[in-house]
Structure formats: structure tokens, C-alpha cells
Amino acid sequence: MAEFETTIDPAPATAVSATDHAAAALLAATLLSACGGGGSASSPAPTPTPVPTPPAAGPTAVEASRFLAQASMGATREQIARVQAIGYAGWLDEQFAMAPSGSHWDWLVAKGYDALANKNSETGADPTIWRKLLSSPDTLRQRITLALSEIMVASVSGFNGGWKTFSTAAYLDLLEGQAFGNYRTLMQQVSTSAPMGEYLTFRGNVKFNATTGAMPDENYAREVMQLFTIGLLQLNLDGTPKLAAGAQQETYILDDITGLARVFTGWNYDLASGDTNTPDFKRRPMTMTASRHETGSKVFLGTTIAAGTSGEESLRLALDAIFAHPNVAPFIGRQLILRLVCSNPSAAYVTRVAGVFNNDGSGVKGNLKAVLKAILLDDEARNAARLTDPAFGKQREPVLRLAAWARAFKASSAADTWTIGNTSDPASRLGQSPVRSSSVFNFFRPGYVPPNSAVGNAGLVAPEFQITNESSVVGYLNYMQTVVSKGAGDVKADYSALLPLADSSAALLDELNVVLAAGQISSATLALMKGGIDTLASGTDAARLNRIYAALVLVLAAPEFIIQK
């Protein structure tokens, strides 16, 4: 055990084990790995191709694992078998039909986190977030909730008004509730949620004051356009910028922000009882205080809401106008592709997904079930030829790496306390913690390009690399060494299924390769890993566990695992 648990430092060590040499080599390779996709953002759109009919024989275990890397919080042998049995579309339909698992809110109340002593703390927020991401059976819903939380961003520490933990719960329960719903409904619920009103500071927003000159807060008006719906630039259906005389065109200007901000005045907590010593008001939609709402006309994005229109009606009309904008489908469709499948989808892929966003086949716009099917069943997501394309794929963000380990080996919290905590520290933990982005711009921007990189030279983007550097990569591996062998807080894995394989490094690595890396770890990398594991003792359960720990850390450090294809 002591040999394997040597911490890997950025500086060379005087003596390390063969396993640590292998891990260090994999770390170096990971830092040099690139991610990308099927074409630059400025390339012309190829002719869309239809989604192929899945083969009658159904997917192999490796194909099923690859699908689950895109569609779930992490593959398990049981889920792999289920995908093989009923196919990709059947598995999606089964997940869509699955009832949501117990809410964040109810779990927190059951655990007593609604005690008044917790009013001004974040206690309980991280446990409930991790609990559902790592263990809830509705794994597709959890993956989409995580994706939506990185598009319509709010953050635990950014909530105010007390009860931050319950603001977190209310917001995540809202996202979960609409993960398979309609994007227009989601826009409505987010725009009236108390947590978002806190986070983007329009709760308590008041109309123009002619005496003081004070203007309505513009924060939410700006971000609901820039980040949640239409983006900064006018787009073609394929997600590429529209050009006029060779120049890109903005979607809105300052006057549009000012006009839209007038809509988001008068909204505040639903506090009919006046009681803030219980958190219940955090999950009730905000209500309108008519005297604080701007009653003058509101002009934005070519839309005029007439003077005298009520606050509630103004909000409905404003969101309808934004939702009708042609950018919504390619902007949101592309971001969902980025979160699930690849960092640089081809223009044709974005076109197909945006087309389904605009019309699900029944004339409905914004049907997220249909959009998710379009993303995950598209030829660009499923075609095995993409595995050999060095420009295809995405970096698996740190939260998903931990989730892959936890899901694959049935990690659980015996006391149901889930004390993983805040994993934001890049030097000693993951460098990312769910629902803890430092700003509304998420942990990484969708258009991030690593400077002086092959990715940038190829005209590609690599969002997750914005939180990737030498410190974070080494910190991740050191953290996962502890997690694998001792657990994350009170969250422990079950390696009983691996014990019978552990005396054979080849059999052990083959199993981990399928479940964690969808069979994508190269023979050269496997040979490097095997050399390290074969230096370790075997023949007893203690020795077998040590080999399992070593194999897991090596796989979790492998470039072919870090880069999701």
C-alpha cells in the first residue's frame, strides 16, 4: 500500500515506484492531449445527413459504454447490459419515463438542515448535490441537470437572503423538473425563481426613479440574452455567425438591455406570511409588486410591450419574444452538444439538432426530449469512425471523472451523509465543484481556446481546458489516489466485482477499460499500465485491492479516459 500511495508532485521525486512512473507519464500525456470536433466554427455547413438506423444486433458493450459516457453520469455494468438489451433509443425512452428521484429539498428537510441555526450557512448544499449526481437512478436526468446548471448558471455562494442551501435545492429541483420538458417553460421558471432572482440581482428590482435617476438593475436582462438564450452574435441555423458585408452582427445592443431590464422590475419573494425563519419562500416563485414595476413601454429586440401592461404579462411577452429569436435553437442546441458529446460539433450536426429544437416533428419548439434524442442518436455522436478523428471529442470535466468512478463501483454513503464537500481547490481536489462556478460564465466558456496550442492552431475550441493546468492535473490525480483507496469523505466504492480479476493485470485493465473508458485505452497505454501493476504483489485480498487501486488511478489518469470520444 505504501508504495502505491506515494503522492505525485509537479517536481521530480528522487525515488518513485514503477506505478508512479507510469502515472507520471500518463499525466504528461494528458497535458499534451487535445480535444476537438468535426470542423471549425467558421467552416461552411455541409449537407445534413440523416441519422442512420441502429444495427439490428444492438450495440456492443464498448459501444454501450461510449453512449453512457455521453448520456449518463457514468457507466455501470448493469446500464451497459441494459443499453445492449433495448438499444440506445429504448434506453433514452426508459430514462425519460423514469420518475424523478427524491428531491433535494425533501432530503434536506428530512436531514434537519432546515433548522434555524443553518439559516446563514451553506451546510448541506454539497452533500445533496453529490448524493444525486453519484447515486440517483435517473442518471440521464442528472446528467442533463448538470448540463443545464452550466448553461443557466447559478452558484451556491452567490445566493443571498439566507438559506443558501435551500436556494441551491430549489434551483436544482427546478432544473431537474424541466430537464426533459420544454425550454420555454424552463425560461419562465428560471426567470421567476427566487434563487435566480438572488443570484442575478433582480429580486427587489425597482422601476426608474425620476428623482434620483436610479435605473432598474440590468444584470438579469443582459445574462438571460447573452448566456441563457441567444448569445452575443446573430447565428445561422448551423451555429456559425451571420455576416453582413463580411462583418459579424450583434444580437443586441445596450438599448435592448435597458429596455428588457424594465420587464424585470417589481419581482420579489412570495412572503405573504412574512416568515423568513423557514426556507419555504425560497422554492415559491417570486411574485409581482405592482407599485415597483415599470409601467411605461418596454422596447427591446424589435419588440414593444405597451405601457400599462402588467408585470406578469410583460414577463410572458418578453420571454416569448426572446424564445422566438432564431438564435435560440442553434445557441442552446450547440451548448448541449458541447456538454454531452464533443467540443467542436460540425455545422451539419448543429443544423440537425437546431432543426429539432425548432420543430420536434409535431410543430413544437423547445422540446428537450426530442433535442436530447437528436444529440445522442445523431451519426456524429454514434459513428465509430469518429474514434480515429484526432479532432473529435471533449475533455471529460473533473466532476464527471469522479462520477464515472462512483457510478461504476456503486459508491455509497453508509450514513447517507455524502460528505465529499467542496471540491473546487485545483491543487488538492478536483478543481471543480458542481453548482459552485465562480461566476455566471460557468467554470469554462464554450468558446475557450488554449493559448499557443495545437487546438487553437487548428481553429478549434476546448472549453474544459480553461480549468486545466499543471497544478490542476496533478492535484486531480493526487486527490483520486486517496478517493480510490479510501473514499471521498464518507463515500466508499465497492470493488467486490473486481477482486476475482485482480491477480491478472490484463483482465483487470480490460474490465476498467470497458466500463470507464469505453474500450478506448490504446494497447501502448495498457502495456505501460500493465508494467506498473505487475510490480505489485498478488494472491491475497489485500494485495488484490492494492492492484485494483493502482489500476484505477492509472485508468483515471489516462488520456483516453480524460478525453471523452
Strand partners, 267: 288
Q: What pLDDT sits at residue 102?
A: 94
Residue 450 domain-assigned? yes
pLDDT digits (tens, 9 = 90+) for 129-144: 999 999 999 999 999 9
Is there a single domain that holds both residue 132 and residue 232? yes
**Over 90: is that where the pLDDT of 11 sits?**
no
What pLDDT does 9 receive? 43
Check whether 426 has a pLDDT greater than 60.
yes
Q: Are 105 and 169 in contact (CB under 8 A)?
A: yes
Is residue 214 domain-resident?
yes
200, 307: one domain: yes
Residue 45 domain-assigned (yes or no): no
Q: Are residue 544 and residue 410 in the same domain, yes or no?
A: yes
Domain boundary among 349, 365, 388: 388
Mean pLDDT for 400-412 is 98
**Tens-digit pLDDT profile for residues 162-179:** 999 999 999 999 999 999
DSSP letter at 467?
A: G
pLDDT at residue 214, rounded to an integer: 87
The DSSP output letter for 233 is B
Q: What gap in Å lies between CA 91 and CA 106, rounded to an integer?
A: 28
Same domain, 347 and 322: yes
The partner residues of 119 in beta bridges, in order of sequence, read none
Computed over every residue of the chain, the mean pLDDT equals 91
The pLDDT-based confidence of 210 (bands split at 50, 70, 90) is confident
Q: Say yes or no to pLDDT of 34 above 60.
A: no
pTM score, whole prediction: 0.91
Residue 37, SS3 per DSSP: strand
pLDDT at 43 over 80: no
Asked whether residue 514 falls in the same domain as residue 559, the answer is: yes
Last residue of a domain, one of 366, 388, 410: 388
DSSP 380-417: HHH-GGGGG-TT--EE--HHHHHHHHHHHTT-EETTS-
Q: Is the pLDDT of residue 46 over 60?
A: no
| Whole-number Å distance between alpha carbons of 67 and 20 | 31
Whole-number Å distance between alpha carbons of 471 and 482: 17
**Spatial distance between the Cα atoms of 69 and 71, rounded to a whole number of angstroms:** 6
Of 338, 368, 388, which one is at a domain's C-terminal end?
A: 388
Residue 319 has which C-alpha cell?
420571454
Report angle CA 53, 56, 60 to the nearest 5 degrees. Answer: 100
Question: Which residue range forms the structural domain that includes residue 324?
Answer: 110-388
- Which residue, among 367, 398, 435, has the nearest Cα to 128 in the 3D structure? 435
Write phi, then psi, for 63 (nearest 5 degrees). Answer: -65, -40
The neighbour count for residue 324, using CB atoms within 10 Å, is: 12
Q: Residue 390's CB: how many other CB atoms inside 10 A?
A: 12
Segments of 168-278 assigned E as strands: 243-244, 247-248, 267-268
Q: pLDDT tens digits, residue range 316-354?
A: 999 999 999 999 999 999 999 999 999 999 999 999 999
Q: Does residue 485 sit in the same domain as residue 358? A: no
Residue 417 and residue 551 in one domain: yes
Beta bridge partners of 491: 413, 488
- pLDDT tens across 234-264, in order? 999 999 999 999 999 999 999 999 999 999 9
Nearest to 121 by CA among 156, 77, 84: 156
Report the C-alpha dihedral over residues 60, 66, 71, 77, rounded to 10 degrees: 60
Amino acid at 340: L
Helix axes 470-486, 398-408, angle to 10 degrees: 20
Same domain, 457 and 526: yes
C-alpha 188/C-alpha 417 separation (Å) is 33
Cα distances (angstroms) measured from residue 135 to each of 101, 127, 144, 258, 372: 10, 12, 15, 44, 22
- pLDDT for the residue 12: 34
Q: How many domains does the chain have?
A: 2
How distant, in Å, are the alpha carbons of 122, 384, 482, 522 from that of 128?
11, 37, 22, 37
